[in-house]
C-alpha cells in the first residue's frame, strides 16, 4: 500500500481516532490511578467494554466518542485540512515527519481545567 492509499483509507483514520481516544483514556486512568474495573464503574459500563476500547476492538458512533470524552473530562475536537502532498524524501525537516493537517484530539473544557 502506498502512502497516498494509506492516507486516503477509511481504516487509517478510524485507527487514528481509536488510538487518540485510547491515549486519552489511558492518561485519565493514570492521572486518577484507576484500574479498568474502576473506570468501568465510574463510566457505568462493563469492564469488557473498557477492554474493547483499550484494545482498539471497536468502531463507535460519534455520539459514543462524545460520551466517552465527556466522561473523562474532555471534549473531542476535530479539525479538517487538505490531504498532505507527497513529502520530498530528500527533506528531513520535522515538517515531513507529520502525516497531515487532520487533527483529531481532545482538550479539557475550561470548567474542568485546573
Structural domain contains residue 113? no
Whether 36 has a pLDDT exceeding 90, the answer reads: yes
Q: In this predicted structure, what is the pLDDT of residue 99?
A: 47
Question: Taking all residues of the chain, what is their mean pLDDT, rounded to a whole number?
Answer: 77
41-76 as b/e, with b when 16 or more CB fall inside 10 Å?
Answer: eebebeeebbeebbeeebebeeeebeebbeebbbeb
pLDDT digits (tens, 9 = 90+) for 81-107: 777 776 666 655 554 444 444 445 555
Structural domain that includes position 96: 3-107
What percent of the chain stands above pLDDT 70?
Answer: 72
Q: Which residue has the higher pLDDT, 101 or 7?
A: 7
pLDDT digits (tens, 9 = 90+) for 9-31: 888 888 888 888 888 889 999 99
Name the helix (H) or strand (E) containing 76.
Answer: strand 75-79
Which of 105, 106, 88 is CA-nearest to residue 97? 88
Structural domain contains residue 21? yes
Q: Are residues 75 and 109 in contact, defined by beta-carbon separation less than 8 angstroms? A: yes
Structural domain contains residue 112? no
Q: In this predicted structure, what is the pLDDT of residue 101?
A: 45
Structural domain contains residue 29? yes
Whether 33 has a pLDDT exceeding 90, the answer reads: yes
Three-point CA angle 4, 58, 64, nearest 5°:
105
Q: Provide the CATH number for the domain around residue 43.
A: 1.10.260.40
* DSSP code, position 101: S
Amino acid at each position: 500500500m502506498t502512502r497516498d492509499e494509506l492516507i486516503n483509507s477509511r481504516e487509517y483514520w478510524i485507527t487514528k481516532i481509536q488510538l487518540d481516544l485510547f491515549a486519552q483514556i489511558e492518561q485519565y486512568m493514570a492521572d486518577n490511578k484507576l484500574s479498568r474495573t474502576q473506570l468501568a464503574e465510574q463510566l457505568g459500563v462493563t469492564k469488557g467494554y473498557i477492554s474493547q476500547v483499550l484494545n482498539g476492538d471497536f468502531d463507535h458512533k460519534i455520539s459514543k466518542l462524545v460520551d466517552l470524552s465527556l466522561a473523562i473530562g474532555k471534549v473531542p475536537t476535530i479539525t479538517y485540512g487538505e490531504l498532505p502532498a507527497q513529502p520530498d524524501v530528500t527533506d528531513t525537516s520535522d515538517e515531513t515527519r507529520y502525516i497531515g493537517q487532520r487533527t483529531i484530539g481532545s482538550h479539557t473544557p475550561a470548567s474542568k481545567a485546573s
